[in-house]
Amino acid sequence: MATPTSIFCSLLLLLFLSCVTSSDQGNAYLISSRIVSRATAEKQSHFRFYFHDIVRGPNPTAITVAEAPGTNASATLFGLVVMIDDLLTTGPENNSRSVGRAQGFYASAEIEKMGLLMAMNFVFTDGKYNGSIIAILGHNELLSPVREMSIVGGRGMFRFAHGYVQARTHWMDQNTHNAIVEYNIFVNHY
Ligand SMILES: *[C@@H]1O[C@H](CO)[C@@H](O)[C@H](O)[C@H]1NC(C)=O
Ligand SMILES: *[C@@H]1O[C@H](CO)[C@@H](O)[C@H](O)[C@H]1NC(C)=O
Ligand SMILES: *[C@@H]1O[C@H](CO)[C@@H](O)[C@H](O)[C@H]1NC(C)=O
């Protein structure tokens, strides 16, 4: 027999259960979620840096960390992996203002043509960008005059960064393969 009290209790139980289930749908680990105004101004910044890739010399900043047995025999050095901590400066001279380092690696990822996989962070050490990072992941067909690569994220001033970079070889020594590369960075951020 359903008495008014038992109906009331059942309703209360339903209410309780629905509260428990709705509060348990992922909310245990979601800290907050809110609509961010579409009017939030996203800006695009353009930076120009020179990237100093020093492979040979007393203080190399690009070192080979891995290669395949067939790498030396490959015309494109397929399989070569080079770790870098390359200086970034405002001008092509290595004593011009230093703004940060390009840290990460590049690897020969193409058998037929010269093509590198680039995976690196531009770690800023100068001025208001000090400590901020732009993360780059891309394909670098070394012999092309302009190579475009993706900006896949960032840190600090570059949170939510997206965009692209264009690399142009400014100078390269045919014997040592040391190179200075101009990077134009087009980064959207808040
Ligand atoms: C490839 O060549 C480099 C430099 O000439 C040498 O140091 C390295 O041992 C060679 N690697 C292989 C796997 O033969
Ligand atoms: C800077 O460049 C000059 C001239 O090209 C060169 O002699 C010198 O070794 C370079 N310094 C470093 C730290 O690479
Ligand atoms: C950049 O930040 C680091 C760590 O906070 C600090 O030690 C360094 O002096 C700063 N450099 C410049 C050029 O502001």
Structure confidence at residue 161 as a pLDDT band (50, 70, 90): very high
Is the distance from CB of 167 to CB of 139 less than 8 angstroms?
no
Our answer on whether the CB atom of 70 is closer than 6 Å to any ligand 3 atom is: no
Q: What's the CA gap between 123 and 95, in Å, rounded? A: 18
Residues contacting 62, CB < 8 A, separation 6+: 53, 54, 55, 82, 83, 84, 86
Q: What's the CA gap between 132 and 10, in Å, rounded? A: 57
Q: What's the CA gap between 120 and 134, in Å, rounded? A: 9
Quick one: which ligand is closest to 74's CA?
A: 1
By most ligand atoms within 8 Å of CB, the mutation choice from 55, 88, 94, 176 for ligand 2 is 94
Please return the burial class of 81, using the count of CB atoms within 10 Å of its CB with bins 0-12, 13-18 and 19+: middle
Q: pLDDT tens, 15-54?
A: 444 544 455 566 778 887 777 767 778 899 999 999 999 9
Distance 153 CA to ligand 3 centre (A): 22
Is the distance from CB of 50 to CB of 182 less than 8 angstroms?
yes
Q: Which residue has the higher pLDDT, 12 or 137?
A: 137
Our answer on whether the CB atom of 130 is closer than 6 Å to any ligand 3 atom is: yes
